[in-house]
Amino acid sequence: MKFINYLESITGIGIFPMTSLLIFFLFFTGVLLYSMSIRKSTIEELKQIPLDNDQNDSSDDEKI
């Protein structure tokens, strides 16, 4: 615990935990707002990406 006592002696060290919390909160708030505002058609299009891979698989089989 000597390391924690050393950190307490640094002037202005309290700003770093608050800055980290603010960055964390802003990032996840932004992700939440983005995910709530995305169009349903875009979500459906993104859901189909793994299923559209069949076109690429047939050309890969020919190369082998």
Report whether 41 contacts 47 (CB < 8 A). no
Predicted pLDDT at 32: 96
Q: Taking the CA of residue 47 as centre, how many other CA atoms within 13 Å lie in the half-sphere pointing to its CB?
A: 6
Distance CA 25, CA 17 (A): 12
pTM of full prediction above 0.75: no
Q: Per-residue pLDDT tens for 10-53?
A: 788 778 889 999 999 999 999 999 999 999 998 888 888 887 76
Q: What is the pLDDT of residues 1-14, one digit of tens each?
A: 566 677 777 788 77
- Position 58 scores a pLDDT of 55
| Positions of E strands within the chain | none
